[in-house]
């Protein structure tokens, strides 16, 4: 009874005086008609025995008759009341009163593709909840639809047309990309500034990193926008159990005779060709479980291991491919769980090819010997003057080399800012904007190094001594790989068309060339340069990140080229189809081009210049794989978290229903009257 009573209590009239006038005036007229005596036409009959009541009415001296209970009167009275209520704009009051501008923010990131116990994905549930909001919109309400994953898309601007809003919700597609809500929140904040009565409703499971809340705060402050939004957090999902691959890497195995890691605790060195495949698997469920992790090469099963993990525990699994062959290598967690996107990681193996290194040096036995000792390197040595002659004659193509190694000398033909390609330098100030010498040579002592960077893999610089090195200023974007007590010793700089690793000291003024770390450093650097060109190890990118593919060599810079591509199914949930498209781009310097539509995990194929290139895209995101929905939503750095809550319903117009009821009552009264008349 409480629910019915509350509903009746929520009813309100938009024009109560109009209803009172209509109901009072027409009601009085209706009753008066039933009180007035009917004026009958005279008719001759054989007897009045059966017409006693009519005869009494005829003999009465006053014009009115006694009001009797009449079904037709009741029907007509109800028709009058419902029609008056419809004209008076009867509404059922909701928690949100007044006209609202609603922003429906839909999370379509990887974790929203997790399936719940009823078989629906979280994105499907989010769309259904958003449709309920649209169904409950009042007559003056408007709404817009914003969907986000790694990027944000406005699918529908503010409109009162419910059909357009529902169509926009149907266009929200699933994505395997990570979650970045900062731009969607910025749009909501901008709408708040534009007008009053704006409320944002975010349908999400709350699985995103805290840095994106800081990103929204920065965007809001930069644009002069407010952070304290009128935000409702609609938590989507209940399932917590999931396994996922969170780390994945494919590296060539060091061959016999090549520098190999002998670091304690590191992976064992191997003397044969092939690849080492590493995958870290994590159990995000609440209970201990055992799963099988398998290795595949070009779709063929190779081997598997059994992994037994407790809750929130991870384990690294290392596989070896004995041969170094092209194709696609994949690691897969067998079986099914709530989220499929993180159950498999893939990489494209490039065909074996030598790493072409051009060394320009006035003479350095140690450097040349270390490069020649690497069997993966095809070394060409030139004097600086010979390289300068190649540049002047237009015979130098940086794209033809894995890297160019410059030792203590820079060809005169190069000017600052003019480099393009991959470069490794020793004992010189690179001709790149931001590098310049600032002081005299001084003795340096190694104090730290960037151990997580691939170039420093398996390296220990603690025993390296440097007798003299110049003080060099570096660009702000440069990454320090090796640091001394008075500044960086080795830095990494990446620009639009250049990758540079610069050692700011001469090998001849240190004992590094005699240490075990030196040939390993050279090997790692050459491999890193080859990977930067997209031609080494296992190539893959993460969902939502830009990927690169190559155009043919017979094209010129500035030329417009078209490539067709095929990717994983990008439609609605459960669709096995492949997504296809065409991309046109203007060829920049160099042949590598960027492709940004990588929001689904899987394999992408490019058809360009009559050839086919394959790209692997993986999720590899621990935040997305941990699918447990959050109870609170941290959306801004300086604001309190928002707890999951119910959606405030707006006023519901009842006049269409009342008009329908009034029409039904009129039809019922008409049917009953004619039945009596004809019967």
pLDDT recorded at residue 573:
41
Q: What's the length of the chain?
A: 679
pLDDT recorded at residue 181:
87
Q: Is 113 within 8 Å of 573 (Cβ atoms)?
A: yes
Burial 373-407 (b: 16+ CB within 10 A, else e): ebebbbbebbebeebbebbeeeebebeebbbbbbb
- Average the pLDDT over each of 181-195, 361-375, 479-493 and give the range with the smallest value: 181-195
* Band of pLDDT at residue 99, cut at 50, 70 and 90: confident
Between CA 387 and CA 320 the distance in angstroms is: 40
State mean pLDDT over 363-376: 91
What's the token pair of residue 438?
């600032």
pLDDT recorded at residue 652:
57
pLDDT at 327 over 70: yes
- Average the pLDDT over each of 41-50, 184-193, 308-317, 644-653 and give the range with the smallest value: 644-653
Between CA 581 and CA 595 the distance in angstroms is: 12
State mean pLDDT over 138-165: 91
Q: What does pLDDT average to over the chain?
A: 79
What's the token pair of residue 206?
């709350």
Helix (H) or strand (E) holding 396: none
State mean pLDDT over 399-419: 79
pLDDT at 95 over 90: no
Q: Which of 283, 315, 525 is nearest to 422 (CA)?
A: 525
pLDDT recorded at residue 547:
78
More confidently predicted of 598 and 512:
512
More confidently predicted of 252 and 450:
450
Residue 341 burial (CB < 10 Å; 0-12/13-18/19+)?
buried
- Average the pLDDT over each of 11-15, 79-83, 103-107, 605-609 and give the range with the smallest value: 11-15
State mean pLDDT over 494-512: 91
Strands, sheet with 652-653, edge to edge from the N-terminal-most edge strand:
11-13, 90-92, 652-653
Give long-range contacts, CB 8 A cutoff, 24+ apart: 130-134: 130/104, 130/106, 130/169, 130/201, 130/203, 131/166, 131/169, 132/647, 133/102, 133/104, 133/201, 133/647, 134/104, 134/162, 134/165, 134/166, 134/169
Q: What pTM does this model have?
A: 0.63
């Amino acid at each position: 009874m409480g629910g019915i009573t509350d509903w009746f209590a929520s009813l309100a009239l938009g024009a109560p005086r109009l209803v009172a006038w209509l109901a009072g005036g027409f009601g009085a007229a209706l009753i008066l008609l039933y009180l007035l005596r009917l004026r009958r036409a005279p008719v001759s009959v054989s007897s009045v025995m059966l017409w006693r009541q009519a005869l009494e009415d005829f003999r009465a001296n006053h014009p009115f008759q006694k009001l009797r209970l009449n079904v037709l009167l009741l029907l007509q009275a109800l028709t009058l009341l419902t029609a008056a209520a419809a004209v008076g704009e009867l509404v059922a009051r909701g928690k949100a009163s007044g006209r609202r501008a609603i922003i429906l923010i839909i999370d379509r990131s990887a974790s929203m593709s997790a399936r719940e116990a009823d078989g629906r994905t979280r994105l499907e549930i989010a769309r259904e909840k958003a449709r309920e909001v649209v169904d409950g919109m009042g007559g003056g309400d408007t709404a817009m639809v914003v969907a986000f994953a790694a990027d944000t898309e406005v699918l529908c601007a503010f409109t009162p047309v419910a059909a357009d809003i529902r169509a926009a919700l149907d266009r929200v597609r699933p994505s395997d990309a990570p979650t970045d809500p900062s731009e969607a929140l910025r749009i909501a904040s901008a709408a708040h500034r534009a007008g009053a009565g704006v409320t944002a409703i975010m349908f999400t499971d709350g699985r995103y990193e805290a840095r994106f809340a800081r990103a929204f705060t920065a965007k809001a402050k930069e644009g002069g926008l407010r952070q304290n939004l009128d935000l409702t957090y609609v938590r989507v999902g209940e399932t917590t159990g999931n396994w996922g691959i969170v780390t994945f890497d494919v590296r060539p195995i060091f061959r016999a005779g090549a520098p190999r890691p002998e670091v304690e605790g590191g992976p064992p060195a191997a003397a044969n060709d092939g690849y080492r495949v590493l995958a870290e698997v994590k159990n995000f469920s609440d209970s201990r479980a055992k799963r099988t992790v398998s290795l595949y090469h070009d779709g063929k099963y190779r081997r598997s291991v059994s992994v037994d993990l407790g809750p929130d525990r991870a384990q690294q699994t290392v596989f070896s491919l004995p041969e170094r062959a092209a194709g696609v290598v994949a690691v897969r967690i067998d079986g099914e769980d709530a989220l499929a996107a993180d159950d498999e990681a893939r990489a494209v193996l490039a065909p074996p090819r030598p790493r072409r290194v051009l060394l320009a040096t006035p003479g350095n036995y140690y450097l040349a010997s270390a490069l020649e000792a690497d069997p993966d390197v095809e070394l060409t040595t030139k004097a600086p003057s010979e390289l300068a002659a190649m540049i002047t004659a237009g015979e130098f193509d940086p794209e033809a080399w894995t890297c160019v190694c410059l030792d203590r000398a820079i060809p005169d033909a190069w000017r600052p800012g003019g480099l393009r390609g991959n470069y490794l330098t020793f004992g010189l100030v690179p001709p790149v904007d931001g590098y310049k010498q600032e002081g005299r040579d001084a003795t340096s002592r190694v104090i730290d190094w960037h151990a997580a960077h691939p170039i420093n893999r398996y390296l220990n610089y603690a025993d390296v001594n440097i007798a003299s090195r110049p003080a060099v200023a570096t660009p702000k974007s440069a990454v320090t790989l090796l640091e001394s007590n008075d500044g960086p010793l080795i830095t990494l700089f990446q620009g639009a068309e250049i990758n540079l690793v610069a050692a700011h000291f001469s090998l001849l003024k240190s004992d590094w060339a005699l240490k075990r770390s030196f040939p390993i450093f050279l090997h790692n650097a050459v491999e890193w340069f080859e990977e930067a060109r997209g031609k080494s190890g296992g190539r893959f990118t993460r969902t939502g990140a830009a990927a690169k593919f190559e155009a043919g060599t017979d094209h010129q810079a500035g030329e417009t080229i078209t490539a067709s591509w095929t990717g994983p199914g990008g439609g609605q949930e459960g669709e096995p189809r492949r997504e296809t498209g065409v991309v046109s781009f203007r060829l920049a310097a160099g042949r590598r081009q960027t492709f940004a539509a990588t929001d689904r995990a899987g394999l992408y194929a490019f058809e360009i210049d009559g050839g086919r290139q394959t790209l692997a895209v993986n999720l590899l995101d621990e935040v997305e794989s941990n699918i447990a929905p959050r109870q609170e939503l941290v959306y801004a750095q300086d604001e309190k978290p928002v707890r999951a809550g119910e959606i405030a319903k707006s006023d519901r117009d009842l006049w269409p229903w009342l008009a329908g009821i009034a029409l039904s009552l009129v039809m019922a009264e008409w049917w009953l009257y004619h039945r009596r008349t004809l019967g």
